[in-house]
Amino acid sequence: MILRNVMYFWREAWKSLRRNKVLTIASVSTVSICILILGMAVLMTVNAGSVMKKLESDVEMVAFLEHALTRSQISQIEEKISQLDGVKSVKFVSRDTALARLGKSYGNKEYDLKSTLGKNPLPHSFEVKARNPHDVPRIASKVDKIDGVYKVNYGQGVVERLFAVTKWVRAISLAFIVLLSLGAVFLIATTIRLAIYARRKEIYLMKLIGATDWFIRWPFFIEGILLGTLGALLSILLLAGAYSSLISNMGSVYFIPLVTGGPILGRLYIALLAAGTVLGVAGTSISLNRFLDV
C-alpha cells in the first residue's frame, strides 16, 4: 500500500514535469538563477571575509621596553604579558634583531646602519598577538601599564577604522544574502504557483473524489524537490566552472587571496544544493495550500 503510493507519487511527479515542459523549464531556470546569484553573493562574502580575516590577523602590537633592564626584568615582563587575558603569543625581539630588520628594510647589504649611527638606538621589544584581533586595543592598554614598558604601538586609529570597515562589510553581505534568499523563495513560489494553477481542476477533482490532502500534496512536493535540486545542480555547475577559471586566471595576478580551499567550496556547493531543494519544497507548500481548501 505505502510502497505503491510512493511509486504512484514519483510517477505522477515525473509525468507532470514532462507534460508541462515550459513551466518545468521556467521553474528550473528560476531556481537556477536564484541559486546562482545567491552562490555568487556567498562566494563574494566568503572571499571578502577571508580578506578581512587576513587584514585583521595582521593586527598586532609592539611593546617597546625601557633601556637598561636586566635579563630577569625582561623575562618578568614577558611573563606578565603572556598571562594577560586573550594573548596568543609573545615574541621577544632584541634590539640587535630590530636593527638588523631595519637595515634589511632599506634593502642595501653594503650599507651598515650600525656604523653610521655609531650605536644602536633601538630598544628591546615584544611582538604581541591577540587570540582575537579585536582585543588588541584593550590588551595594549594593559601592556602599557606594565612596569618597564616604555610604549605600546599597534597602529592606533587605523586599526579601529579597519574594524569598523570589516564590521560593515560583514553586516552588508549578510543582509544581502538574507534579502536574496527571501527574493528567491518568493520567485520560486510564484513560478510553482503557476504550475499548480495550471492543474487546479485536477486538484479540485481529486478532492471531490475523496483523495486526502497528503495524497495530493506528495507529487507536488516531489516535483518541487526535483525542480529545486535540478536548478541548484545547474547553477552549481556554472558557479564552480566560473569560479575555478577565475582562480586559475586571476588568482596569481591579484594581491587579493581568493578562497581556493576544497572543503570550504565543497561545503558551499552542498549548502547551495540543499538550499535549492528547500526552496523547491518551501515554494510548493506556500503555493499549494490555497488550492487544497475545497
Partner 1 sequence: MLVQFYNVSKIYSNGVKALDDVSLKIERGEFLFLMGPSGAGKSTLIKLFFREEAPTRGQIFIASRSIVRMKRSEVPRLRRNIGIVFQDFKLLENKTASENIAFAMEVVGANPKEIRQRVAEVIEMVGLKGREKSFPGELSGGEQQRIGIARALANRPLLLIADEPTGNLDIDTSREIMELLFDINRKGTTVIMATHARELVKAARKRVILLDKGRVVADNPNGESIV
* Rounded Cα gap, residues 54 and 56, in angstroms: 5
Residues in contact with partner 1, counted by CB under 8 A, come to a total of: 18
* Residue 1 binds to partner 1 (criterion: CB under 8 A): yes
Tell me the closest approach of the beta carbon of residue 199 to partner 1, in angstroms: 9
Q: Please, which residue, 206 or 240, has the CB nearer to partner 1?
A: 206
Burial of 40 (0-12, 13-18, 19+ CB in 10 A): middle
Q: Please, which residue, 31 or 222, has the CB nearer to partner 1?
A: 222
Burial of 1 (0-12, 13-18, 19+ CB in 10 A): exposed
Element (H, E) at 42: helix 21-57
Q: Please, which residue, 4 or 109, has the CB nearer to partner 1?
A: 4
* Residue 205 binds to partner 1 (criterion: CB under 8 A): yes
Q: Binding segment for partner 1 among 4-12, 142-150, 151-159, 272-280 (CB under 8 A)?
A: 4-12
* Rounded Cα gap, residues 287 and 73, in angstroms: 74
Tell me the closest approach of the beta carbon of residue 18 to partner 1, in angstroms: 11
For residue 72 the three cell numbers come to 630577569
Tell me the closest approach of the beta carbon of residue 194 to partner 1, in angstroms: 17
Q: Binding string, 18-47, against partner 1, x = CB under 8 A? A: -x----------------------------
Decide the pairing of beta strands 125-130 and 87-93: antiparallel
| CA dihedral for 136, 137, 138, 143, sign (positive or negative) | positive
For residue 294 the three cell numbers come to 475545497
| CA dihedral for 87, 92, 98, 104, sign (positive or negative) | negative
Of 10, 215, 221, 240, the one binding partner 1 (CB under 8 A) is 215
Nearest C-alpha neighbor of 192 from the set 156, 144, 224 = 224
Nearest C-alpha neighbor of 260 from the set 280, 276, 244 = 244
Of 40, 84, 177, 211, the one binding partner 1 (CB under 8 A) is 211
Q: Binding segment for partner 1 among 70-78, 117-125, 206-214, 248-256 (CB under 8 A)?
A: 206-214
Q: Binding segment for partner 1 among 94-102, 109-117, 159-167, 209-217 (CB under 8 A)?
A: 209-217
Q: Binding segment for partner 1 among 78-86, 205-213, 228-236, 254-262 (CB under 8 A)?
A: 205-213
Q: Please, which residue, 62 or 292, has the CB nearer to partner 1?
A: 292
Contacts of 96 (CB under 8 A, 6+ apart): 120
User: Considering only residues 216-245, where is the footprint of partner 1 by CB under 8 A?
Assistant: 216
* Rounded Cα gap, residues 39 and 177, in angstroms: 9
Q: Please, which residue, 109 or 201, has the CB nearer to partner 1?
A: 201
* Residue 208 binds to partner 1 (criterion: CB under 8 A): yes
Contact (Cβ atoms closer than 8 angstroms) between residue 199 and residue 167? no
Q: Which residues bind partner 1 (CB under 8 A)?
A: 1, 4-5, 8, 19, 201-202, 205-212, 215-216, 294
